[in-house]
Structure 1
Amino acid sequence: MAARQSSGATIAHRVCFVVVLALWGAGCLGWSLAAPVLRLLLPASRREAVGQWGIQAGFRNMLGLMQRLGLARLDLASLDLLPPDQPMVIACNHPGLLDAVVVTSRLRGVVCITKASLWDNPFLGGGIRLAGYIRNDSPIALVRAGVASLAAGKRLLVFPEGTRTPRDAAVGDFRAGFALMASTAGVPVQAILIETDTPYLRKGWPLQRMPAFPIVIRVRVGRQFRVDRDVRLFVDTLHRYFEQELGDGAGAGQARRPLARHTA
């Protein structure tokens, strides 16, 4: 890994990295500023769908650009196997800040639970509001909003760890709120396994700090679970499943096998 880090960022990579960051920032800011206007112009029945489409399209285009420039290798095709119209809780492990980006870039009609601080972020806040995402600032309100979203037929994207995975672990401890939502709404929990070979945007890694290239990320669709009445027992069972699937190196930042190039 050390050799890869020293030789993996060529001058071309460095230039492309800066360009991508600039374009990504400009795109997010532009959409965030346009979103309040669209919210006023669009009928209520169309706002969330347009907001979710805008986020998905923006993320997909930027990830595609990263691949074309040699900055990333992504294997996301497994996500196409998920039924598009089945309400469910999509539970993902959380190695880095790109996790929500890669998943939402591939799935339409997904509602994300987002940190309350992001709602006031000038680059993201407007788009988050337009997409009808759920603000994570009160446990009771969060569960109610999640259940309402699932009851309306939405797919709810959650990271049960609540924060990025610790560097020395395959997966962090799980919170129980997502399981309570699934149990109350009577929907399944779909496990999504994210594997990566890069420390980029893990805990303590700032956005502007350049990693070795290409960044490699693979997303796998895991098992689908039903929550029984014992929510805590279910959370423990799901956590053990993630540990078994990711425990042979994923926690150290290593993908299980080389990833084929794939266009997001």
Structure 2
Amino acid sequence: MRVGSGLLFRIGQIFLFYLLLLWLAVMLLAGNIAALPLLLTPRAFREPLMQRAISATFRLFLDVSERSGLMVLDLGALDVLNRQRKMLLVANHPSMIDVFLIISRVRSAICLMKASISSNIFLGVGAYMAGYVSNRHVSFMLRNAATAVEKGSLLLAFPEGTRTTRQPVNDMKPGVALIAKRANAPLQTILISTNSPYLSKGWKIWRAPQFPLIYRARLGQQLRACDCPAKTANTVQSYFEQELAYSIDPRMRA
């Protein structure tokens, strides 16, 4: 009887999981279409509006996911960042959902994003109109990112360059150090921990994990970029390794 009840509960969770994914896809696609007229407006008007709209959409999805019992979230530590300006937010990157976690709480952040996002029908239009910075051309990326931060933006970046494949973090890239140095801005570290490999490298979005998914984000130290980008990258690397070494769930260890 218990086995049967457990199986039915699992089936219910999976059904709800796919229903929420479908709902998210509809929200993102409809939002992109509804936002198209904003292309005719000045960037100074549309970018803050789109940043807040994206944040609200992500937060709504995560709130419903939590209320449904599929997720347990501890993200409140990020709220203080809404009172900050001119800063790089650098986080470890265990899964693809990390962007949702941070942007859902930091309403006016922009992202350093992969070029492939630009052609994504669910995310591309919104990302462009929110002023997110593409990494398609490295020189343009560094210049545009530094300019955005100099003007007061909070720029979210994942210095590993891809999702974590070696626990607790991959080798850090020097790009964020160059941006921070050019913009004369601090690197605010964000430490993300989870109990699940869902949406880690190679995990397809439609492959159902075990529930609940538990995510926690906490603020770490602020670090300063020095004149040597490689040295700064090593400092960031050491800090993340030290802070995350004992917070990695055993199920996440390779």
Q: TM-score range by the shorter chain?
A: over 0.9
Corresponding residue of 2:187:
189
Higher alpha-carbon deviation: 55-64 or 11-20: 11-20
Normalised by the length of structure 2, the TM-score is 0.93
CA deviation profile, 1:202-246 (whole Å, cap 9, x unmatched): 011100000011100000100001112222111101100100111
CA deviation profile, 1:119-152 (whole Å, cap 9, x unmatched): 0111111101110100111111110011110111
Post-superposition offset of 1:9: 6.3
Corresponding residue of 1:131:
130
Query: RMSD over aligned Cα, in angstroms?
Result: 1.8
Say if 2:42 is the partner of 1:47.
no
Please list every run of 5 or more consecutive structure 1 residues that lacks an aligned counterpart in the other structure. 1-5, 256-264
Describe how 1:173-252 pairs up with structure 2 within 5 A. Answer: 173-250=171-248, 252=250
Contact 1:13–1:71 (CA under 8 A) maintained in structure 2: yes
Post-superposition offset of 1:78: 0.7
Say if 2:102 is the partner of 1:103.
yes
CA distance in 1, matches of 2:81, 2:129: 24
Which protein, 1 or 2, shows the higher relative CO under an 8 Å CA cutoff with sep ≥ 6?
Answer: 1
Runs of 4+ in structure 1 off by over 4 angstroms are 6-9, 251-255
CA distance in 2, matches of 1:253, 1:247: 14
Post-superposition offset of 1:14: 1.4
Letter in 1 for 2:181: S
Letter in 2 for 1:112: C
> 3-state SS of the aligned residue for 2:83?
coil
Corresponding residue of 2:10:
10
> 3-state SS of the aligned residue for 2:217?
strand
Matched pairs, number: 248
Letter in 2 for 1:226: R
Corresponding residue of 1:261:
none
CA pair 232-57 structure 1, distance change in 2 beyond 3 A: same
Corresponding residue of 1:29:
29
Higher alpha-carbon deviation: 11-20 or 175-184: 11-20
> 3-state SS of the aligned residue for 1:250?
coil
Query: Identity over the aligned pairs, expressed in percent?
Result: 38
